[in-house]
Amino acid sequence: MSVTLAIHSAGPGVTLQDAGRLGYLRFGVSEAGPMDPLAFSTANLAAGNLAGATAIEVSLGGLDVAAEGGVIPVAIAGGNFNVSLDGNKLPHAVHLALKPGARLSIRPGPSGTWTYLSIGGRIDIPSVLNSNATHTRSGLGGLNGRGLVAGDRIPISASRNAEQSIFTILAPWLERPSDVIRVMLGPQEDYFDPDQISAFLRGPWTVSVRSDRMGYALEGPKLSHAKGFNIVSDGIAMGAIQIPGDGRPVVLMADRQPTGGYPKIANVIGPDLGRLAQLRPGSRFRFTAVSFQEAIEARKAEQAALASSIVLEPLRRDSFSAEFLLALNLVDGVTAGADEVPS
């Protein structure tokens, strides 16, 4: 019997994502990919996968899944969501073997907007333009180009053997303060007078309810343009901050358009994309400008964290009922070293 992951419920915005549909922006095809690349990579590495392997991105809509046809090892990492197995609460960053008949539930918790469910094996679906990333606006990738819904069954191949135990994933690099988001100014900062640059950095800014995977709309000071708000359209990187005619910034995210014709006052640096993505509507923060070298050092620190060992710590036995524990074969903790897990 083939092994599948059965979707029992999935709220809006739950999609299959890999590292992104790279190399096609010049043809007008958006990359898609994870909203929080660091959390996405952490979940994959904890599951024993390559950092860019296909995983399920879970939004505030939540997700309920079960294994069919065999045990499926899974890892969850990202925002501070409420995770439970058969009604028993688990850590928000966790590795476990999902046995047939058990129900794994992921629901919004105290903080965070996205978390990632990575399969210890391979999600076996056809790729589109060398990627499984879902871009729902264009209907590309994922499962028939759409978000997951109740009744979907995702085929799993090359599923790894897993200890019948539950482990907390210790990944301290995911504990990221989000009250300050680092940016590099430009490439069109000359379209704004110095006082408007200062107002942009001073803020504060609030994430609007109009935010989604395409862009995070911000509420705060209204910025004015020194040279008008139209430019010759150019390429859009993830994290680019456009200032449209209404003066309200929009941070372009994973499902962004390939090009845009509004001036870009700054760009969120790569290591802070996940920090921003995890902010819920109503969250307040401000921007701070950093140099190119500071951005490079931040990226190096992020890569060093991912290259270090991801420790899997066994849960305490008194966290669960006796009936629940009898269904598990609890073992001691293990460590996934950088030389054991592809990066």
> Taking the CA of residue 31 as centre, how many other CA atoms within 13 Å lie in the half-sphere pointing to its CB?
22
76 pLDDT exceeds 60? yes
In a domain, 200, yes or no: yes
pLDDT of residue 162: 65
- 3-state per-residue secondary structure call for 151-199: CCEEEEECCCCCCCCEEEEECHHHCCCCCEEEEEECCCHHHCCHHHHHH
- Local confidence band at 210 (pLDDT 50, 70, 90 cut-offs): very high
Whether residues 107 and 216 fall in one domain: no
How many domains is the chain built from?
2
Does 89 lie in the same domain as 9? Answer: yes
Average pLDDT over residues 35-56: 96
pLDDT digits (tens, 9 = 90+) for 261-286: 999 999 999 999 999 999 999 999 99
Q: Does residue 296 sit in the same domain as residue 318? A: no
Residue 237 lies in a domain: yes
Instruction: Give the orientation angle of helix 292-307 with respect to helix 37-46, to 10 degrees.
Output: 20
Encode 192-216: b = buried (16+ Cβ within 10 Å), e = exposed.
Answer: beeebbebbeebebbbbeebbbbbb
pTM (predicted TM-score): 0.91
Residue 226's domain spans which residues? 180-302
Is the domain of 59 the same as that of 37? yes
Read off the pLDDT of residues 127-172 as tens digits, 9 standing for 90 and up.
999 999 999 999 999 999 999 999 999 999 977 766 678 999 999 9
pLDDT recorded at residue 124: 94
For residues 90 and 320, the answer to whether their CB atoms sit within 8 Å is no
* Alpha-carbon dihedral angle through residues 126, 142, 111, 305, given to the nearest 10 degrees: 40
